[in-house]
Amino acid sequence: MSTLLDQQGRAAEVLRRFSRTTAAMLLLVVVAGSVALEVASSGSFLEGPSVRVFLQYLATPILIGLAQMVALCVGQLNLAVGALGGFTACLTGVLMADHGVPAVIAVLVGLLTATAVGLVTGIVIVATQINGFIVTLATMTILLGAQYRLVGTRTVDGYSPTLRDLGTAAPLDTPLVFVTAIVAAGLLGAFMYRTVAGRRLLAAGGNPLAARLSGISTDRQIVLAHTLSGLLVGVAAVTATASLPGVNHSVGGDWLLPSFAAPIIGGVALTGGSIAVFGTVLAAFVTRLIDAARAQFSLDPSWVNLLIGLVVLGTVAGGHLHQTRLAKSASSEASPQPEGAR
Amino acid sequence: MNSVLLECRDLVKVFPGVRALDGVGLRLTAGSVHALLGENGAGKSTLIKVLTGVHAPDGGTLAWEGEPVQLRSPLEATRTGIGVVHQERNLIPGFSVAENITLQKPPSRRGLVDYAAMTEPAAGCLTELGVDLAPDRPVRELSVAQQQLVEIAKALYTESRVLLLDEPTASLSPEETERLFEVIRRLAERGACVVFVSHKLEEVFAVCDTVTVLRDGKSVLESSPLADHSHDDIVSLMVGRAHAATELHPRPVDRSAAPALELDGVATAGGHRDISLAVRPGEIVGLYGLVGAGRSELVKAVLGLGRITAGEVRVHGRTARISSPRQALHEFGIGYVTENRKEEGVFLEQPIVRNITVTVWRRLARAFGFVPARKERETAQGLVERLGIRIAGLAQNAGELSGGNQQKVSLAKWLAADTRLLVIDEPTVGVDVRTKRAFHELIWELAHDGLPILLISSDLAEMVTLADRIVVMTDHRVRGEVDNDRDYDRMSGRIIRLIHDRDAVRS
């Protein structure tokens, strides 16, 4: 019996801890938002087709949010998320449409290219000691040029029907691209929380000096983070190529801000050392809800950016207030009993 | 007799786990240069922070010119007339000298900064100090010494009558130091009180007239005329005789064993010359010196964080050219328990379990690098029990622990990795007496089990308690070595003489 009580107690403790997290708050927002939209749309929001569209367009924000999160976790950032995604999508499309490369190979080339660009970015940052902001700003500009060089002003379409079918397939109203994003998030979570390499990333981001003195090469972690970020952007680009009607120079153009919004709203510290896979996914969900609400109420598109901006500010300010309160209550708990007295 | 500017009595400041100030009295009189001395962790920086309004005291009284006063913020301290020049520079590099001096109260007209009216008072302050500097020069062009003088001028501009100088000579050449002393004397003549914090006793005797010594958060000598005390008096007050060596059961050391760590004529890019020492299995070798002697820097150079320019390092009999702490750990089994645990020792925002197993993830890992959670917890739990770390649970963040327990966590990670040589740097700075005692027993046990330990400490009592041999360093050089017979008075005498001989050579 006591074990049952124990288990209940532990479950209650886990629940209590969870209820204080950003993810819990976001989950609440997601549920409340969905219900509100369901009511406002008189029941059409949760019907099959509209759920499918909703999830279809959720894949990209999740993947680019995760790509940015990985860079943030070692105290870096990746301004080239959108440019790399656009370039990779165009590269894959051009290979298939203009050069007749089979879809499997084109997709693999796309993923490898994005990963390689991430790897090179990381190596340049470590080797030159130049701030990652500047290096990724430069790669962003280079990649934008490369993307334009590839496609110019035309839209590449009519490539691999198989890939397009996969990109729009949605068994049980669950689009495959969304499943891809969720699987990527799951794998990333397992990698970050459970493997040696993931932990080293977090350690190096949280306290570089202590990490070095504990036998962790911080340089390698920076390279690894950018490589992983590149790979995730590659996955985002492939899902975009598969699900969009065609690719052109504007793909990726509006990815940069959402890539920051998702992890920041999701509870990732900009200073490095923390990640929030679940939080980032939920935050992408919230931004998508705002978009859906705009469509529902036929609001002006500018409202979406305004709202997302306010949500970002609000969560950051709210999180800051929460931390300060926690710190205060912790110190008032700790100070009356110095260690010797315990 | 000059008037008393600032007086404090029975100041107490408690941080979680430690009484940083535990009854400090201080009387600062106009026209004097007051030395504030004490070893690392004695409470000097906390006292400075209380006097400048950064920390509110938990007990005791403060009076300004006889009137009780409360300093609730640095701004209030400045308004009262207390200025401080910190060790690290606090100037804005892109601003001019005049802009920096008048930063806290820039002359303005209708809400706009009046640049024309700025130069004159700034130049006035500089002239008063006898400093020849153009007020319109950007601060980034100035030398460290000149920047320091600008900071003093800044304090003058805000009409500070008590000026705290925290280690002002740490990065100055002898000539620059002499010029600074002239400025300090001039300030005292004008009726200010300059508080001079330094580890260099010869400088203290050169410029100060009054002295206060802190030890373990208490003022063991309070506002006393410096002329009444000798060099040796002051040093023994600083290091303390009160809590002399605590007894630990005897532990045999095999002096004939092959050394685990050997430095042979090592020089570094950081300025170390001709350093030779050896640590044998089961031996605790103390590396003693005052702050700034270059002990931690020496160890960091050996670990690959600095450049070794000459000589040889041998670890377990092998010549070791170590290029990173990573290599030091994996190839040579060297662990380094760092001095600044918060900055270098622990990951404050990571759970305790990860903090302990960070060195062994690779060894615990299964296929694809996955670390089995159960094995990780077992490893951490074993060490938590062995070291008696007080925690709420392994998932608790290390940042929530007290200083002593954080220190134990940062030791635990090296024990987890089965290191074959341990360097422990200032293990008990800022921890209370009970934890200190527990730490000493722990280090003793580790050596008893055959681990070679190099112990860095500025706490002479700790050295005499723990070390088998004590290597004395000053100024990046080894000055000598003494066999510890655990007689505190004899040991401290010999060590202080080793430190002094070098002072005699220099002056």
Query: Residue B119: its pLDDT value, please?
Result: 86
CA distance A35 to A99: 48
| Closest chain A residue by Cα to residue B346 | A210
Decide if B42 contacts B216 (C-beta within 8 A).
yes
CA distances for B49 relative to A89, A335, A338, B9, B22, angstroms: 57, 18, 20, 16, 15
Q: What is the 3-state secondary structure (H, E, C) of B143-172?
A: CHHHHHHHHHHHHHHCCCCEEEEECCCCCC
Is the pLDDT confidence value at B460 over 60? Answer: yes
Query: Residue A207: its pLDDT value, please?
Result: 84
Q: Are strands B108-109 and B59-64 parallel, antiparallel or unpaired?
A: unpaired
A134: domain range?
Answer: 50-317
Range in B25-29, B33-37, B90-94, B226-230 the model is least confident about = B90-94
| Cross-chain Cβ contact B432/A342 below 8 Å | no
Angstroms from B254 CA to nearest CA on chain A: 30
Is the pLDDT confidence value at A340 over 60? Answer: no
Is the pLDDT confidence value at A123 over 50? Answer: yes
Q: Which residues of B touch A194 (CB under 8 A)?
A: 370-371, 373
Nearest-CB residue to A342 (from B350, B359, B390):
B390
State the number of CA atoms in the 13 A half-sphere of B261 facing the CB: 28
Among left, alpha and beta (phi > 0; psi -120 to 50; other), residue A291 is: alpha
The answer for residues whose C-beta is within 8 angstroms of residue B500's C-beta and 6 or more apart is B231, B232
CA distance A235 to A67: 10
Cα angle, residue A100 at apex, residues A99 and A103 outer, rounded to 5°: 120
Per-residue model confidence as pLDDT tens digits over B209-229 = 999 999 888 888 888 898 898
CA distance A40 to A296: 8
Among left, alpha and beta (phi > 0; psi -120 to 50; other), residue B68 is: beta
Query: Residue A111: its pLDDT value, please?
Result: 94
| Cross-chain Cβ contact B16/A209 below 8 Å | no
Is the pLDDT confidence value at A304 over 80? Answer: no
Per-residue model confidence as pLDDT tens digits over B61-116 = 999 998 999 888 888 888 889 988 887 777 888 888 888 888 877 777 777 777 77
Angstroms from A214 CA to nearest CA on chain B: 6
| Closest chain A residue by Cα to residue B365 | A196
Is the pLDDT confidence value at A168 over 90? Answer: no
Query: Residue A307: its pLDDT value, please?
Result: 77
Q: Where are the alpha helices (DSSP H) in A244-301?
A: 256-266, 277-296
Nearest-CB residue to B347 (from A210, A335, A339):
A210
> Burial, A137: exposed, middle or buried (Cβ in 10 Å; 0-12, 13-18, 19+)?
middle
Query: Residue B421: its pLDDT value, please?
Result: 93
Query: Residue A19: its pLDDT value, please?
Result: 66
- Provide mean pLDDT across the span A152-170: 82
More confident residue, B250 or B330: B330
Is the pLDDT confidence value at A256 over 50? Answer: yes
Query: Residue A325: its pLDDT value, please?
Result: 65
Q: How confident is the model at residue B298 (pLDDT cuts 50, 70, 90)?
A: very high
Query: Residue A122: its pLDDT value, please?
Result: 94
| Cβ atoms within 10 Å, residue B435 | 24
Cα angle, residue B195 at apex, residues B189 and B199 outer, rounded to 5°: 125
Is the pLDDT confidence value at B149 over 90? Answer: no
Q: Are strands B284-288 and B453-457 parallel, antiparallel or unpaired?
A: parallel
Is residue A187 within 8 angstroms of chain B, CB to CB? no
Query: Residue B498: its pLDDT value, please?
Result: 83
| Cross-chain Cβ contact A339/B404 below 8 Å | yes
Nearest-CB residue to B358 (from A203, A334, A335):
A203
One DSSP character per residue, B4-49 reads: EEEEEEEEEEEETTEEEEEEEEEEEETT-EEEEE--TTSSHHHHHH
Query: Residue A327: its pLDDT value, please?
Result: 57
User: The tokens 């580790």 sit on which residue?
Assistant: B446
3-class secondary structure, B175: helix
| Closest chain A residue by Cα to residue B349 | A206
Q: How confident is the model at residue A89 (pLDDT cuts 50, 70, 90)?
A: very high
The answer for residues whose C-beta is within 8 angstroms of residue B76's C-beta and 6 or more apart is B53, B70
Longest dimension (CA), chain B: 81
**Which backbone phi and psi does B399 adopt, to 5 degrees?**
-65, -20
Decide if B389 contacts B408 (C-beta within 8 A).
yes
Query: Residue A324: its pLDDT value, please?
Result: 67
More confident residue, A19 or A310: A310
Is the pLDDT confidence value at B160 over 70? Answer: yes
CA proximity to B105, closest of B82, B89, B91, B121:
B121
| Cross-chain Cβ contact B16/A335 below 8 Å | yes
- In a mutational test of the B interface, the residue from A192, A195, A339 whose CB has the highest number of chain B CBs within 10 Å is A339
Is the pLDDT confidence value at A37 over 90? Answer: no
Q: How confident is the model at residue B462 (pLDDT cuts 50, 70, 90)?
A: confident
Range in A327-341, B264-278, B329-343 the model is least confident about = A327-341
The answer for residues whose C-beta is within 8 angstroms of residue A95's C-beta and 6 or more apart is A101, A105, A106, A109, A110
- Provide mean pLDDT across the span B162-177: 80
Cα angle, residue A5 at apex, residues A3 and A10 outer, rounded to 5°: 90
Is residue A220 within 8 angstroms of chain B, CB to CB? no
| Cross-chain Cβ contact B350/A214 below 8 Å | no
Decide if B359 contacts A214 (C-beta within 8 A).
yes
More confident residue, A183 or B87: A183
* Residue B215: strand pairing partners: B218
- Same fold for the domain at B4-239 and the one at B248-333+419-507? yes
Give the containing element (helix H, strand E) for B386: helix B373-387
Average pLDDT, chain B: 85
Give the containing element (helix H, strand E) for A324: helix A302-334
From the CA atom positions of chain A, what is the Rg in Å? 22
- In a mutational test of the B interface, the residue from A16, A193, A207 whose CB has the highest number of chain B CBs within 10 Å is A207
Handedness of CA B179, B184, B187, B191 (dihedral sign): negative
**What burial letters (b/e) apply to A292-322, b meaning 16+ CB within 10 Å?**
bbbebeeeeeeebeebbeebbeebeeebeee
Q: Which residues of A touch B348 (CB under 8 A)?
A: 206-207
Query: Residue B241: its pLDDT value, please?
Result: 55
Name the domain count of chain A: 1
Q: How confident is the model at residue B154 (pLDDT cuts 50, 70, 90)?
A: confident
Q: Is residue A156 part of a domain?
A: yes
Query: Residue A281: its pLDDT value, please?
Result: 92
| Cβ atoms within 10 Å, residue A271 | 11
| Cβ atoms within 10 Å, residue B213 | 25
Q: What percent of chain A has pLDDT over 70?
A: 89
CA distance B501 to A239: 75
Q: Which residues of B touch A273 (CB under 8 A)?
A: 347, 349-350
Is the pLDDT confidence value at A337 over 60? Answer: no
CA distance B245 to B241: 9
CA distances for B310 relative to B302, B379, B478, B480, angstroms: 12, 40, 15, 20
DSSP class of residue B369 equals G
Query: Residue A141: its pLDDT value, please?
Result: 93
Q: Is residue A5 part of a domain?
A: no
Give the architecture (CATH level 2) of B248-333+419-507: 3-Layer(aba) Sandwich (3.40)
Domain extents for chain B?
Answer: 4-239, 248-333+419-507, 339-417
Q: Is residue A329 part of a domain?
A: no
Is the pLDDT confidence value at B35 over 80? Answer: yes
| The two structure tokens encoding residue B309 | 């320019």
Q: Which residues of A touch B346 (CB under 8 A)?
A: 207, 210
More confident residue, A25 or A329: A25
Query: Residue B292: its pLDDT value, please?
Result: 73
Q: Which amino acid is at B120?
A: E
Query: Residue A6: its pLDDT value, please?
Result: 66
Per-residue model confidence as pLDDT tens digits over A90-102 = 999 998 888 888 8
User: The tokens 């938002």 sit on which residue?
Assistant: A33
State the number of CA atoms in the 13 A half-sphere of A179 facing the CB: 12
| Cross-chain Cβ contact A195/B336 below 8 Å | no
Q: How confident is the model at residue B430 (pLDDT cuts 50, 70, 90)?
A: low
Q: Is residue A36 part of a domain?
A: no
Q: Is residue A276 part of a domain?
A: yes
**Which backbone phi and psi does B340 adopt, to 5 degrees?**
-95, 90
| Cross-chain Cβ contact B305/A212 below 8 Å | yes
Give the architecture (CATH level 2) of B4-239: 3-Layer(aba) Sandwich (3.40)
CA distance B56 to B72: 6
Q: Are strands B210-215 and B33-37 parallel, antiparallel or unpaired?
A: parallel
Nearest-CB residue to A195 (from B15, B344, B369):
B369
CA distance A90 to A143: 11
* Global pTM value: 0.72
Per-residue model confidence as pLDDT tens digits over B350-372 = 889 999 999 888 888 888 888 88
| The two structure tokens encoding residue B433 | 């007496």
Q: Which residues of B touch A338 (CB under 8 A)?
A: 14, 16-19, 432
Q: What percent of chain B has pLDDT over 70?
A: 94
CA distance B13 to A183: 53
CA distance B346 to A272: 15
CA distances for A25 relative to A32, A282, A283, A310, A312, angstroms: 11, 10, 10, 16, 14
